[in-house]
Amino acid sequence: MPLAFHSRYVGEVTVVTCAGRIVEGEESAAFQAHLDALIPINPQILLHLGAVTFVDSAGLGMLVRYLTRAQNASGTLRICAVSPALDRVLAVTRLKPVLQPFDTELEAIADAHRSGRDAFSAPDILCVDQSDDVLAYVRELLRGDGHRVMTASNLPDAVILLSAMRPKVVVAGTIPPAAAGTRAADEFKRLSAGCVVVNLPAGFAAREAADAAGHVLEAIREVFRAPR
């Protein structure tokens, strides 16, 4: 199976989900180019290898090399969900202590934030919305007001961040209707019950920017003014 990969952001971590074979050749070169582009933007990288069926010697060397590159950029490269076969290879080659595979995304993402900068180690606010543009706007708006903010564009990632980081406030925007009634939706409801939930108003993305900003800031300031 040819190597395929795609990236998404979960909090301050770039998760790269891989499928197929990590072997020397054109596919590996494309993968390296992808990592080359990611590291200057965010050197906190997690490779989800659950669907990777084979890694050759060059592929293992590449993982070690990009671990070093990420560390040199003040981040790190983590791996998770490795198959039993790959786990055995890491043990035999004595690379397991170097790459330190995690069993799940949740464990790896939680470790990344615990080990990261104080600026995002304990977020005040988690923003959830299906629009990356809305998330970027609200994140920077709230950071500018002195808050530590993380974002998620879907409920499964929001559940991971709620479980790992326990924010005080959840800013909830638009979620696809198809997510209703799913296991992730039930977990999100259960976990967010321990937070203050601030809902973005309907049509938030289309509102005049200053008016939208004022609504969000006032709601958040009211939460933090109230006795806890």
Are 58 and 133 in a shared domain? no
Strand order in the sheet with 196-199: 149-152, 125-128, 169-172, 196-199
Are 98 and 19 in a shared domain? yes
Query: Is-contact 188 162, C-beta < 8 A?
Result: yes
Candidates 46, 45, 50; CA nearest to 82 is: 50
Are 36 and 128 in a shared domain? no
Are 102 and 185 in a shared domain? no
Are 178 and 202 in a shared domain? yes
Are 180 and 160 in a shared domain? yes
Candidates 42, 67, 220, 59; CA nearest to 148 is: 220
CATH code (residue 48): 3.30.750.24
Of 115, 145, 163, the residue at which a domain comes to its end is: 115
Are 107 and 141 in a shared domain? no
What would the pLDDT profile of 145-179 be if each residue is shown by its tens digit?
999 898 999 999 999 999 888 899 999 988 877 77
What would the pLDDT profile of 93-125 be if each residue is shown by its tens digit?
999 999 999 999 999 998 888 775 444 446 789
Of 56, 88, 115, the residue at which a domain comes to its end is: 115
Q: Which two structure tokens, joined as six digits, stand for 51?
A: 């669907």
Q: What is the span of the domain harbouring residue 159?
A: 122-225
Are 102 and 136 in a shared domain? no
Query: Is-contact 167 127, C-beta < 8 A?
Result: no
Q: What total of structural domains would you count in the chain? A: 2
Query: Mean pLDDT of residues grouped by 10 in the chain (228 residues)?
Result: 90 94 88 95 96 93 95 95 93 93 93 64 83 90 90 91 88 81 90 91 79 86 75
Of 63, 80, 115, the residue at which a domain comes to its end is: 115
CATH code (residue 126): 3.40.50.2300
